């Protein structure tokens, strides 16, 4: 089955620790995205990448970092500099040159930092 895999589903960390969220896709999509979802605030774009070894900051990139070494993988690191990291994180992908409005989302990772 083609799709996007995010792991783990739930993640718990202590304040001050960096944590990396995994995102893998086997849809052969060029573009990948990371969103943060908080109640009442919709989906806010953290980082996106349209090609391997290149990525751009989204609207709320501070305190986050990403890498795109392979087409299939787009891991997100939540650093200790992120002031309020507890949230639901969603990874998405789509084809460059296709219907840009149709993004395919993974099941999400719920991160809790205490």
Partner 1 sequence: QQQVKQSPQSLIVQKGGISIINCAYENTAFDYFPWYQQFPGKGPALLIAIRPDVSEKKEGRFTISFNKSAKQFSLHIMDSQPGDSATYFCAAIIETSGSRLTFGEGTQLTVNP
Give the binding site for partner 1 (CB under 8 A). Answer: 4, 31, 33, 40-45, 48, 50, 58, 90, 92, 94, 96, 99-108
3 vs 17 by CB, closer to partner 1: 3
| 34 backbone dihedrals φ, ψ, rounded to 5° | -125, 130
Nearest-approach distance from CB 42 to partner 1, in angstroms:
4
Please write down the long-range contacts of 44-47, taking CB distance under 8 Å and 24 or more positions apart. Answer: 46/76, 46/89, 47/76
Nearest-approach distance from CB 105 to partner 1, in angstroms:
3
What are the residues facing 113 on neighbouring strands? Answer: 13
């Amino acid at each position: 089955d083609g799709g996007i895999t995010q792991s783990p589903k739930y993640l718990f960390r202590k304040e001050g620790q960096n944590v990396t969220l995994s995102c893998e896709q086997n849809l052969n999509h060029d573009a990948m995205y990371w969103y943060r979802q908080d109640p009442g605030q919709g989906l806010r774009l953290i980082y996106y990448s349209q090609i391997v070894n290149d990525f751009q900051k989204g609207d709320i990139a501070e305190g986050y970092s990403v890498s795109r070494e392979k087409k299939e993988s787009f891991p997100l690191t939540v650093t200790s500099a992120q002031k309020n990291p507890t949230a639901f994180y969603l990874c998405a992908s789509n084809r460059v040159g296709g219907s840009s409005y149709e993004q395919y989302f993974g099941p999400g990772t719920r991160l809790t930092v205490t």
